[in-house]
Amino acid sequence: MSHRDTIERYYRGCSTADVDLMLSTLHPDVVHYFLAPNTGTAPVRGGEHLARYWRKVAGLIDARWVVDHCLEGPDEAVIEWTMFWRPGGTGERIATRGAEWFTFAPDGRITEIRSYYQQRDRTTELDGFPYTERGYSTLDG
């Protein structure tokens, strides 16, 4: 299984609030770091804690994550992603775009996630970037 496959399984678990699916991808000592000043920017430590964290988030904001691009090395991967969500859990869906750096244990489970994004109550994208033309996920498709 590739690192991208593992990340996509992890995101499927995040999107569906499936704790067991997330746990199957996470090392028990995983640490997830967030870019300040997002809400709740303290690191989340431990597989159980991280899976429960995302289960709660998915329910609060009706979130769905998609991997748009991935570069892989032997024990790490860097991705660009899109999170489709609803501020406050209701209303019009928006897109937040970001990047994450993952590291992996020898058994293929995720040991560290470093997230780079700013969560706003409106769509956040690179200005002028041709998302559709490059095959990225969009609100329209």
* Chain center to CA of 139: 17
> Residues with Cβ < 8 Å from 133, sequence gap 6 or more?
none
A 10 A CB-CB count for 74 gives 8
pLDDT in tens, 83-111: 999 988 778 889 999 999 999 999 999 99
| pLDDT value, residue 27 | 99
What's the predicted TM-score (pTM) here?
Answer: 0.88
| pLDDT value, residue 37 | 65
Residue 71's domain spans which residues?
3-116
Residue 20: band (very low, low, confident or very high) from pLDDT cuts 50, 70, 90:
very high
Instruction: Indicate whether 55 belongs to any domain.
Output: yes
Alpha-helical runs (H) found in 17-108: 19-23, 47-61
Instruction: Indicate whether 132 belongs to any domain.
Output: no
Residue with tokens 């989340």: 44
Are 3 and 67 a contacting pair, CB within 8 Å?
no
Instruction: Indicate whether 141 belongs to any domain.
Output: no
Q: How confident is the prediction for the chain on average, in pLDDT? A: 91
Find out whether the peptide bond into 87 is cis, omega within 30 degrees of 0.
Answer: no
Are 121 and 90 a contacting pair, CB within 8 Å?
no
When divided into structural domains, the chain yields a total of: 1
